[in-house]
Structure 1
Amino acid sequence: MSSKRIEIMDTTLRDGEQTSSVSFSASEKLTIAQLLLEELKVDRIEIASARVSEGEFEAVKSITNWATENGYIDAVEVLTFVDKGISIQWMVDAGAKVQNLLTKGSLNHLTYQLKKTPNQHFKEIKETIISAKEKGIETNVYLEDWSNGMRNSKEYVFEFLEFLSTQNVKRVMLPDTLGVLTPSESFDFVSEIKNKFSKLHFDFHAHNDYDLSVANVMQALKAGVDGIHLTVNGMGERAGNAPLASVVAVVKDFMPELKIGVNEKALNSVSKLVETFSGFRIPVNKPIVGANVFTQTAGIHADGDNKKNLYFNDLLPERFGRKRKYALGKSSGKANIQKNLQELGLHLNDEDLKKVTQRIIELGDKKEIVTKEDLPYIISDVLDSNLYEEKVLVNSYALTHSKGLRPSTTVSLTIEGETFEANAQGDGQFDAFMNALKNIYLKKKLALPKLIDYAVRIPPGSNSDALCETVITWKKEDKEFKTRGLDSDQTVSAIKATEKMLNII
């Protein structure tokens, strides 16, 4: 059986830009348009509404100029209105060739918003289509509020479609304008229409108000719809539109009888670019393009991946230009850590691996993310600790920093079974901590080495809650030595480095 080709129309630049507080500049619009058509290879793009601002007009012109030069002008569409030719003139001036004419798809909208009869509306639509054709503009027709039209005024919808079947219209577009459809209604309504008007090309335009947009698109496709409207990252008014990446993956994996031309490998990079331009953040758990969706956190999953890919499904990250990651945190197992070590080209024996795993779990309890880049620092910290016997233990400390007062520290320390407590002030919290230590060591008639260098670094590629490594150089008599401490808090990492020094001396 030959597969049916489905047209993908991306409306990120028109409907997607209606996302609250999103506005693309003209150069951003052109860049996105080029990526959608050349890299992602969607079939069509809807780029603007006619009759909007001067800036928008210039943005449309820059896209139509580029599209004309590169053979894409028939794939560039503009939303227009039944307005006695004003939209059409705007399109002519902007150099656009395809109008998506907004009409009323429910009797409610027609009666209460336009206050017109069906015949009056149809007559004006006919005049608009004829006028467009005369100016070399092709027409697609949107039936606004079509989903409610099918629920509440089906006879009107069928009368409208009967009229459109006699007009010079390329596509009829069926929007669930308010995002109210269920999957079963999407299937039933599209089936009914396709059965009655099999010669017309129908597009389905889903909104995501009930989080059903992908399911509704799937059912509309099963019912025989010919094209679907999507947006990058599911951008759009209210809860947004059907998301491009999710729908592409669903069609490719579950509907092999349908063919789409989208290049999956470009989905992630285009998604990230649109995120940057729009400021509209992608939720980390958004399917296909979210930061976390190809990250295994549970150790059992990483272990299963090592043993015949037990936790893989068809959504392999490489399909979308991504890589699987193994998160390091409190639910990490040895397998997660081994996967990350392999990528870094590191190998640990079982005993050391156990200690590193334990350390990562401790850190994971305190902070959200331990990154792959943190691993060498953690290993270094853990292996350092193997070099000496713990005879000195920092039991607890209280660091205070108040405006107008010198920082102070109270510390409790156990030296070979004997516990001491001291309080001191200093120029900073760590300085106060060192002064408190000196007070304890004076009681023991012991001298502390001199601190001669103090360096703090964050692992490259780490993030804002990154691990912090403090490396302190000490001098005792004529001998210099270094200790390092690792923690998500800078002062605590310095205290840990100091605790190692106390054990070494």
Structure 2
Amino acid sequence: MSKSPAVSLYDTTLRDGTQGEGVNFSAHDKLRIAHELDAFGMHYIEGGWPGSNPKDMEFFELAKTQKFKNAKIAAFGSTRRANLAVEDDPQVKMLIDAGTPVVTFYGKSWLLHVTEVLRTTPEENRAMIRDTVRFCKEAGREVIYDAEHFFDGFKDEPEYALSTLAAALEGGADFLVLCETNGGSLPHEVEEITRKVQARFPGAKIGIHSHDDGGLGVANALASIRAGAVQVQGTMNGYGERTGNCNLTTVVPNLALKMGYEGIVPDLTKLTALSKFVDDVANLPHFNRAPFVGSTAFSHKGGTHVNAVQKLARSYEHIQPTAVGNRQVVLVSDMSGQDNILRKAQEMGFDLKRGEESRRILDQIKQRENDGYEYEAADASFELLLRRELGLYQPSFKLLEYHTTHRQHGERGLDTCEATVKIELNNERIYTVEEGDGPVNALDQALRKALATAHPELAKVSLCDFKVRILDSKSGTAAKTRVLIESTDGVDSWGTVGVDFNIIDASWEALRESLEFYLLRKKQPRGA
């Protein structure tokens, strides 16, 4: 693969990304993310808008004390206000006071915005851009000019849109970034307009800032790069206003693995871990179906697919999963063939061969999935089923009985949930009673209490997710229910499933298997 010209990566997760619904970072969160982005090899990190809120001001103060190996920190703002000298504009002054080596600011490219939003003249708008660039350059900053709504502006009044870029260059801008702010342009339009900009300003460094309103944020960024842009702006995991920004976790591997920019980051295998880290700090669930970095990005469910990837992985995988730090996953479901079962058993360390045994396990999987079970997200339940069929299952305890009650006092507004659990453990009958926040929590507490003396290690285990799915909603309150539980000991996590017409019984099954799996793995490692 031939070496392509250099392209720089500009991350705006900490500013544009936080404009997305549900995305919030403290100043220290931003600092943690900035260091991870820097370690990954990001070239520019936009920290926020100085003066817009206390968190951003605190971040820039903290950033002044930090060292970054690969990235330059950028402060973001806007042009000076209309009819105000640039040196008198407090917002521009804050950009300089942030102390960052890079200043990025936006200006208006669309004549509609100039006359109807700014309510100023076309020439004054150009002067606002030119003056702000010059002021920041004279302060010793690298200046990146974001031409807001550039593509819409170009479509309406191409010569005026281009004249705003000329104003930025007259002031000394280092980058002209074409912003596809409304996210409605198509890739062929972005590519064509970028080429026209490149032709008008040969030698200028062009960047692209795209949004995903049409589902084309990444495609538009790549189209602009094809046309000569040398900087991509985006956010981790596609965070951003409305439907989000160009997703760097998608655009970076496409640049590196598909378009010849192999050295764009030092180690692309860190991408999946970085993506999950940012989601964790944002306290958001990781998007399983995300290209490249999602947990299902290289998952195979259909029997013919699994059979093929067993022989030749690239027959159903466009890249090697390890190239982005991900892995191949074989799912077990009612669509599985024997290859799924064999591969999954092999992953778990069991020596299962094709034959009557594997067919019996497959038939049971298909029957249980027909009954409502789902093993794609319940590896632990699948392993317990596998152990039972292979004669390797040794239960840690025996259930004798459980009982739950829920009492509601109408006048006082008080409610109490209580559970009793009776088990046999080490030839001893143990009976416990516990209260909880709901019947399932009460059962969880009672079972843990019964097991605690013999298995104190269960104190490490906690439930991190609890999902309930009604399988046949037409049956109303008599519908069959599937419960999926995800558990963790702080290091590993595992999923279990329970199905029943009674939601308590379905929950008990998933809960019991979660604890049973943990105890079993402690005394019987996989394959044993």
Aligned to 2:359: 354
Hey, what does 2:373 align to over in structure 1?
367
Partner residue, 1:380: 387
Alignment of 1:324 with 2:328, yes or no, is yes
Q: How does 1:398-413 map to 2 (within 5 A)?
A: none
The equivalent residue for 2:396 is: none
Check the 8 A contact 1:64/1:76 in 2, yes or no. Answer: no
Rounded to whole Å, the distance in 2 between the matches of 1:428 and 1:261 is 54
How do 1:463-482 and structure 2 match up within 5 A?
464=466, 465=483
Are the aligned partners of 1:5 and 1:258 in contact in 2 as well (CA < 8 Å)? no
Give 1:143 deviation, angstroms.
1.1
Deviation at 1:128, TM superposition (A): 2.2
Partners of 1:96 and 1:206 lie apart in 2 by 24
Cα 1:429–1:277 shift into 2, 3 Å: closer
Provide Cα deviations, 1:145-172, integer angstroms capped at 9, x if missing partner.
Answer: 1111111011101222233332211111
Asked if 1:267 is matched to 2:271, the reply is: yes
Query: Alpha-carbon deviation of 1:248?
Result: 1.5
What corresponds to 1:44 in structure 2?
A: 44
Query: Is the CA contact (8 Å cut-off) linking 2:295 and 2:326 kept in structure 1?
Result: no
Superposition pairs for residues 300-339 of structure 1, below 5 Å? 300-309=304-313, 311-339=315-343
Distance in 1, matches of 2:270 and 2:331, equals 24
Task: Check whether the contact 1:171–1:202 (CA below 8 A) recurs between aligned residues.
Answer: yes
Equivalent residue letter for 1:355: R
1:100 is aligned to 104
Matched letter for residue 54 of structure 2: E
Note the 1:59-458 alignment, pairs <5 A: 59-66=59-66, 69-70=67-68, 75-83=72-80, 84=86, 85-256=89-260, 260-261=264-265, 263-309=267-313, 311-349=315-353, 350-365=355-370, 366-370=372-376, 371-383=378-390
Matched-pair contact (CA < 8 Å) for 2:303–2:338: yes
Q: Distance in 2 between matches of 1:21 and 1:239?
A: 12
Q: CA deviation digits over 1:7-65, x for unaligned, max 9?
A: 11111111111112321011110111111111x20111111013211222011221232
Q: Distance in 2 between matches of 1:338 and 1:430?
A: 37
State the shift of 1:138 in Å. 2.6
Which residue identity is paired with 1:296? H
Equivalent AA in structure 2 for residue 374 of structure 1: S
**Residues 87, 335 of structure 1: CA spacing in aligned structure 2 closer, same or farther, 3 A cutoff?**
same
Question: Counterparts of 1:80 and 1:403 in 2: how far apart (Å)?
Answer: 56
Deviation at 1:402, TM superposition (A): 8.5
- Helix, strand or coil for the counterpart of 1:23? coil
What residue in structure 1 maps to residue 32 of structure 2?
A: 31
**Contact residue 6 and residue 259 of structure 1 kept, 8 A:** no
> Following TM superposition, by how much is the alpha carbon of 1:259 offset from its aligned partner in structure 2, in angstroms?
5.6
Displacement after TM superposition at 1:276 (Å): 1.3
1:220 & 1:160 partners in 2: Cα distance?
19
Structure 1, unaligned runs of 5 or more:
387-398, 406-426, 432-449, 469-485, 498-505
Using structure 2 for the length normalisation, give the TM-score: 0.72
The DSSP-based 3-state class of the residue aligned with 1:179 is coil
User: Radius of gyration: which is bigger?
Assistant: 1
**DSSP 3-state at the match of 2:334:** coil
- SS of 2:177's partner is strand
Q: Is the 8 A contact 1:430 1:491 kept in 2?
A: no
Worse overlay, 348-357 or 18-27: 348-357
* Corresponding residue number in structure 2 for 1:473: none
- 1: CA distance between counterparts of 2:206 and 2:118? 24
Alpha-carbon distance in structure 2 between the residues aligned to 1:315 and 1:195: 35
Distance 1:452 1:402, change over 3 A: closer
Alignment length (residue pairs): 422
> Closer, same or farther in 2 for the Cα pair 1:36/1:428, shift >3 Å?
closer
Q: Identity across aligned pairs (percent)?
A: 23
Residues 125, 331 of structure 1: alpha-carbon distance in 2 compared, 3 angstrom cutoff? same
Q: CA deviation at 1:321?
A: 1.4
Contact 1:359 1:382 in 2 (8 A): no
For 2:320, the aligned partner's letter is L
Q: How big is each residue's C-alpha offset from its partner over 1:208-249, in whole Å with a ceiling of 9 and x where there is no partner?
A: 001011211121111111111111101100010111121122
Aligned to 1:474: none
Let me know the Cα RMSD of the aligned residues. 3.4
Show structure 2 runs of 5+ residues with no match: 81-85, 394-401, 409-417, 432-446, 452-457, 467-482, 487-496, 513-528
What is the CA–CA distance in structure 1 between the aligned matches of 2:498 and 2:261, rounded to whole Å? Answer: 54
1:291-324 Cα distance to aligned partner (Å, 9 max, x none): 2212211222211122233633332211111221
Structure 1 residue 179, shift from structure 2 partner: 0.3
TM-score by length of 1: 0.75
- Do the aligned partners of residues 324 and 276 (structure 1) sit closer, same or farther apart at CA in structure 2, a change above 3 Å counting? same
Contact 1:103–1:141 under 8 Å retained in 2: yes
Separation in 1 of the partners of 2:186 and 2:213? 11
